[in-house]
Amino acid sequence: MSRNETRRRSRRHASAPRLSLTLIARNEEDFLGDCLDSVRDLADEMVVVDTGSDDRTRDVAREHGARVFEFPWNESFAEARNAALSHATGDAVLQLDADERLQPETHDAVRSALRQADRDYWYLNLTNLSAEGPVGDVVRTLRLFRHTPGLCYVGRIHEQPVLDRPGRGGLCNAMIFHLGYQSQVFAKKGKSQRNQLLIRRGLEDTAEGGDARLRSLYLFYHALQGEGDERMARLTDLAEFVRAREGELRSRMPWIPCGMIHYAAERRNRGDDRAAADAVRWTSKRYGESPVLNALAAHACLREGDFEGAERLLRRSREQRLDPGSIHLEYHLVPGIAIAVADVVEAELRERQGRFEVAEEIYRRVDLRRTKIAGRLAAVQIAQGKLEQALAALNEHGTPVEHAPPAEASAGLILSLLAQSSDGLLRWGERVREVAPSNAMCRRVLDRVESWTPDRAFCQADFPELQQILRLPATIESPAPKR
């Protein structure tokens, strides 16, 4: 008897839940073996469903101890996943993809989670890897759950496991490494084009009174593929749909609160505070509190002049971030998003209170990967008379000069003049001249700047609109969940 089989029988003898690995694969001979090896000492069985490989995928699966089944590919990841579930015999299921590895040192975290009798499913941590190392944030993904009746996957693409009844989730501190988003692998597999095609087909399938659960899923991922005004329009379609069909959306569907948070954040970034606050209230009432929702609600209080309410909600947001088992796990968001939103709101609150040094300190610690705070940082520095530092903030953290919007370009030109920066005058002046024909503010600023003579020094009073220009929104950006 092998050592692994002895361990598995020992666990069964101790009445531990039997764990099934389920995996769907197609032409994954290069990746599959290492994936199965990463759970060999953990899973009681490994189920691989092949969707049409013409390489050695099925042979590799058998060589590494997996039970292999075939399922003809029909452009639905959910149906392939459900086929794998139908062959699993364990009390619990761990779902991986061939290009993922569960880190062996975190196996005990999975075993510990399965001993939590009051939980139905768990989120695991996932890190995307490139040849150079980790890429982006550690994200949470639902991959471990009890194998119970009523559990199934939904969705052609970005498929999600759902229950037909309420369930309780938790966080398992196991770690999955995902290799498939390395640029060369992603390009080879054409995942982006495939995903977009399946989302479009899903939207077509559910266009006329189709399954509200599925349509909301496709609308969410369709929105995250958009940019600028197109993204805003798609998020608006999602928000209007889920409100109109609320009665049909009762089971666990984390993409809905996540989509509403994206919608609220986009509205906030565009200055539509009323719509943002309304979306936050709707989502909180239906799905409960979360750190990011309370941070967004604090922003609504701040814009209404309720500083005390903003302080209270910011404290609540911080407290919730310390509780990994709270309901905010259901929001399918990168954990750092709540921190970024709360920091930006707190900095604006301190600014409104006239505590510019404190606001500057907070803006400096904000996560620059997902926020655009150059204008706000420059504004609090100007309030302290730090003109050169404000210009540096725009240069270092703002939009690249060649793409800077009119307000930011005007601010850069004014600050260059006040700080007597000849380099800044050339760089920002060129951008202002470029956009001046279509922007009245840029034309006014440019006319004033061109009246400058070497024997005269401009002062801040010559540009009363500077503070208004620099009240640029401190936007928050959030990446899409992994597929």
Q: What is the pLDDT of residue 207?
A: 86
Q: For 244-284, what is each residue's pLDDT tens digit?
A: 998 888 766 788 888 998 899 889 888 888 899 999 999 88
Q: What is the pLDDT of residue 78?
A: 95
Q: List beta partners, residue 178.
A: 100, 128
Q: For 210-245, what is each residue's pLDDT tens digit?
A: 889 899 999 999 998 888 899 999 999 999 999 999
Confidence class for position 136, pLDDT limits 50, 70, 90: confident
**Residue 378 to residue 474: CA distance in whole angstroms:** 11
Q: What is the pLDDT of residue 192?
A: 76
Decide: residue 466, CB within 10 A, 0-12 exposed, 13-18 middle, 19+ buried.
Answer: buried
Helices 422-435 and 440-450: angle between axes, nearest 10 degrees: 140
CB of 152 closer than 8 Å to CB of 95: no
Q: What is the pLDDT of residue 166?
A: 72
**Residue 353 to residue 444: CA distance in whole angstroms:** 31
How large a percentage of the chain has pLDDT more than 70? 87
Please give the residue that has the higher pLDDT: either 458 or 146. Answer: 146
Q: For 66-84, what is each residue's pLDDT tens digit?
A: 999 999 999 999 999 999 9
Q: What is the pLDDT of residue 217?
A: 92
Q: What is the pLDDT of residue 134?
A: 82
**Is it the case that residue 324 has pLDDT exceeding 60?**
no
Q: What is the pLDDT of residue 368?
A: 65
Helices 228-244 and 255-269: angle between axes, nearest 10 degrees: 130
Q: What is the pLDDT of residue 462?
A: 79
Q: For 433-454, what is each residue's pLDDT tens digit?
A: 999 999 888 888 888 878 777 6
Q: What is the pLDDT of residue 483?
A: 46
Domain boundaries, the chain: 3-188, 190-351, 368-469
**Residue 439 to residue 417: CA distance in whole angstroms:** 20
| Beta-carbon contacts of residue 199 (< 8 Å; ≥ 6 apart) | 156, 157, 158, 218, 221, 222, 225
pTM of whole model > 0.85? no
CB of 287 closer than 8 Å to CB of 257: yes
Q: What is the dihedral of CA 276, 277, 282, 283, to 10 degrees?
A: 70
Local structure of residue 77 (DSSP, 8 states):
H
> What is the length of the chain?
483
| Beta-carbon contacts of residue 208 (< 8 Å; ≥ 6 apart) | none
**Is it the case that residue 36 has pLDDT exceeding 90?**
yes
Q: What is the pLDDT of residue 165?
A: 75
Confidence class for position 174, pLDDT limits 50, 70, 90: very high
CA angle, 265 as apex, 326 and 318 as ends, to 5°?
35
**Is it the case that residue 184 has pLDDT exceeding 90?**
no
Q: Determine whether domain 190-351 maps to CATH 1.25.40.10.
A: yes
Residue 476 backbone dihedrals phi, psi, to 5 degrees: -120, 130
Window from 255-269, 393-407, 420-434, 465-479 with minimum mean pLDDT = 465-479
Window from 56-65, 275-284, 401-410, 447-456 with minimum mean pLDDT = 447-456
In whole numbers, what is the pLDDT of the chain averaged over residues? 85
CB of 283 closer than 8 Å to CB of 261: yes
**Residue 260 to residue 31: CA distance in whole angstroms:** 36
Please count the other Cβ atoms lying within 10 Å of the Cβ belonging to residue 71: 19
**Residue 453 to residue 433: CA distance in whole angstroms:** 19
CB of 161 closer than 8 Å to CB of 77: no
| C-alpha distance from residue 182 to each of 133, 234, 373 (Å) | 10, 28, 30
The domain made up of 3-188 has a fold known as Spore Coat Polysaccharide Biosynthesis Protein SpsA; Chain A (3.90.550)
